[in-house]
């Protein structure tokens, strides 16, 4: 078969795969076809001449020591297994007798195997094998392409919602699947909706084939959205140290900047909150608290518990535990609705937080029993200052 490389290049262009992968697919197809026409114990080598743009297939036999276990191979299944001579190996004594006295262990004997001599059977098998291996290379290229995008935000179109409430999304050449647990509580989609989600990983499944697993509940999704809305984060001027989320309800994100003239909180929030509000809207109204990171655990944990005001804090860095003294009027704020604030603070800082209520108040309370101080409007006492 002449100019086989021209055909391979055409296949590579049509299937949108690299020329090298197309050649590998063709080589594997030739090898498997030759094995089907002989035995699966045979070994073959494919040589492609780039100058003449042709190929040759050679059957390869390896010389091994007399009595080597590779001379026999096991075939069949379960109770029908039997040992038969292997076509890919020959004993040293037989090789010297049949071929050349100078042969040694490890030498390889090669003879050309011509597929065309096997007629239509060879052609049909080669076509099926080539189709199979090209498809595998297409999937391999797609796998590598999207594996590099793991951790980034993907934009796609909802195709359908299955019986298990999995959302199927069309993204480029592949389909994405977002399970119910990876969807923000309360969100619902219909066919044709545009959706943004984080690519968790690329996987191969017997049911879905090659697919992308998507999520909108991961803290990394929040990080990616912040980077897309805040140029200072995308440029590395402001760094996201950590983030914690209760999806759809509330989130805390710790930020820092090495540049003295940059306010990390102000940069993240934006003018009149335009940046943080855009991220919150994408997350179905999730309330996002921006906190300035501190390498001092006591300071960082205190900030993470905001808006609560703490009295004192004791930190055990080895056991990752913090005991905080707090007044009764601040305890509810520290805990938050359904414990959400203290849970997020613990996730953000990595410390187990224990609250210890103490007496007193942290905010001045207005006592209604005290008489209201009357403000004077008489300015006569100031007249002497202006004489």
Does the structure show a pLDDT above 60 at 50? Answer: yes
Question: What confidence tier does 370 reach under pLDDT thresholds 50, 70, 90?
Answer: very low
Q: What CATH number was assigned to the domain covering residues 151-215?
A: 2.40.50.140
Question: What confidence tier does 289 reach under pLDDT thresholds 50, 70, 90?
Answer: very high
Question: What confidence tier does 21 reach under pLDDT thresholds 50, 70, 90?
Answer: confident
Q: What CATH number was assigned to the domain covering residues 218-293?
A: 3.30.300.20
Contact call for residues 43 and 49 (beta carbons, < 8 A): no
Q: What is the pLDDT of residue 353?
A: 94
With a pLDDT cut of 90, the percent of the chain lying above it is: 43
For residues 360-379, average pLDDT: 54
Does the structure show a pLDDT above 50 at 368? Answer: no
Picking from 306, 309, 204, 298, the residue whose alpha carbon sits closest to that of residue 265 is 306
For residues 252-265, average pLDDT: 93
Buried b (16+ CB within 10 A) or exposed e, 158-193: beebeeeebbbbebeebbbbbeeebbbeeeebeeee
Q: How far apart are CA 367 and CA 74, in angstroms?
A: 94
Distances (CA, A) of 195 to 147, 200, 215, 283: 20, 15, 11, 11
Contact call for residues 240 and 267 (beta carbons, < 8 A): no
Q: How far apart are CA 314 and CA 170, in angstroms?
A: 51
For residues 222-248, average pLDDT: 94
Q: What is the pLDDT of residue 344?
A: 95
Complete DSSP assignment for 321-367? EEEEEEEHHHHHHHH-GGGHHHHHHHHHH--EEEEEEESS-SSPPP-
* Residue of higher predicted confidence among 204 and 184: 184
* Residue of higher predicted confidence among 376 and 44: 44
Q: Does CATH number 3.30.300.20 belong to domain 296-363?
A: yes
Question: What confidence tier does 282 reach under pLDDT thresholds 50, 70, 90?
Answer: very high
Q: What is the pLDDT of residue 253?
A: 96
Cβ count within 10 A of residue 10: 11
Does the structure show a pLDDT above 80 at 380? Answer: no
Q: What is the pLDDT of residue 379?
A: 60
Does the structure show a pLDDT above 80 at 222? Answer: yes
Average per-residue pLDDT for the chain: 86
Does the structure show a pLDDT above 50 at 364? Answer: no
Does the structure show a pLDDT above 90 at 206? Answer: no
Q: What is the pLDDT of residue 100?
A: 82
pLDDT digits (tens, 9 = 90+) for 299-329: 999 999 999 999 999 999 999 999 999 998 8
pLDDT digits (tens, 9 = 90+) for 57-66: 888 888 888 8
* Residues in the chain, total: 387
Buried b (16+ CB within 10 A) or exposed e, 83-96: eeebbbbbbbeebe
For residues 187-209, average pLDDT: 86
Does the structure show a pLDDT above 60 at 1? Answer: no
Does the structure show a pLDDT above 80 at 375? Answer: no
What's 4-146's CATH class?
alpha beta
pLDDT digits (tens, 9 = 90+) for 146-181: 888 998 999 999 999 988 889 999 998 888 999 999
Q: What is the DSSP letter of 166?
A: P
Cβ count within 10 A of residue 123: 13
Phi/psi for 209 (5° steps) reads 75, -145
Lowest mean pLDDT among 78-87, 113-122, 164-173: 78-87
Q: What is the pLDDT of residue 39?
A: 76
What are the sequence ranges of the domains in the chain? 4-146, 151-215, 218-293, 296-363
Does the structure show a pLDDT above 70 at 285? Answer: yes
Cβ count within 10 A of residue 223: 18
Complete DSSP assignment for 234-255? HTTSEEEEEEEEETTTEEEEEE
Does the structure show a pLDDT above 50 at 24? Answer: yes
Q: What is the pLDDT of residue 383?
A: 62
Q: What is the pLDDT of residue 145?
A: 85
Q: What is the pLDDT of residue 324?
A: 93
Q: What is the pLDDT of residue 369?
A: 45
Half-sphere exposure of 33 (CA within 13 A, CB side): 30
Q: What is the pLDDT of residue 109?
A: 85
């Amino acid at each position: 078969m002449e100019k086989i490389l021209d055909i391979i290049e055409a296949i590579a262009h049509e299937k949108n795969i690299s020329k090298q992968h197309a050649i590998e697919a063709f080589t594997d197809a030739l090898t498997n076809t030759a094995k089907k026409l002989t035995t699966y114990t045979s070994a073959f080598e494919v040589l492609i001449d780039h100058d003449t743009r042709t190929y040759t297939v050679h059957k390869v036999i390896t010389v091994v020591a007399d009595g080597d276990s590779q001379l026999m191979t096991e075939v069949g299944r379960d109770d029908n297994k039997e040992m038969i001579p292997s076509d890919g190996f020959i004993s040293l004594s037989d090789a010297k007798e049949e071929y050349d006295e100078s042969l040694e262990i490890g030498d390889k004997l090669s003879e050309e195997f011509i597929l065309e001599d096997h007629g239509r059977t060879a052609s049909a098998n080669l076509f099926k094998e080539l189709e199979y291996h090209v498809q595998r290379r297409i999937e391999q290229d797609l796998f590598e392409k999207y594996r590099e995008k793991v951790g980034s935000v993907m934009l796609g179109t909802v195709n359908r919602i299955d019986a298990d409430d999995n959302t199927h999304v069309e993204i480029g050449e592949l389909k994405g699947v977002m399970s119910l647990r990876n969807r923000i509580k309360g969100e619902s989609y219909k066919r044709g909706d545009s959706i943004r989600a984080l690519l968790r990983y690329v996987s191969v499944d017997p049911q879905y084939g090659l697919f992308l697993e998507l999520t909108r509940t991961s803290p990394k999704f929040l990080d990616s959205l912040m980077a897309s809305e805040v140029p200072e984060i995308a440029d590395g001027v402001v760094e996201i140290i950590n983030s914690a989320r209760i999806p759809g309800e509330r989130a805390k994100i710790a930020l820092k900047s090495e540049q003295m003239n940059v306010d990390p909180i102000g940069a993240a929030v934006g003018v009149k909150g335009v940046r943080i509000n855009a991220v919150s809207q994408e997350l179905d109204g999730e309330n996002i608290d921006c906190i300035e990171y501190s390498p001092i655990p006591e300071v960082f944990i205190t900030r993470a518990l905001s808006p609560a005001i703490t009295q004192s804090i004791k930190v055990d860095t080895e056991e990752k535990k913090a005991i905080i003294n707090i007044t009764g009027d601040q305890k509810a704020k520290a805990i938050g609705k359904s414990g959400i604030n203290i849970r997020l603070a613990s996730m953000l800082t990595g410390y187990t937080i224990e609250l210890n209520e103490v007496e007193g108040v942290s905010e001045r309370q207005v006592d209604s029993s005290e008489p209201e101080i009357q403000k004077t409007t008489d300015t006569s006492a100031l007249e002497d200052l202006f004489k």
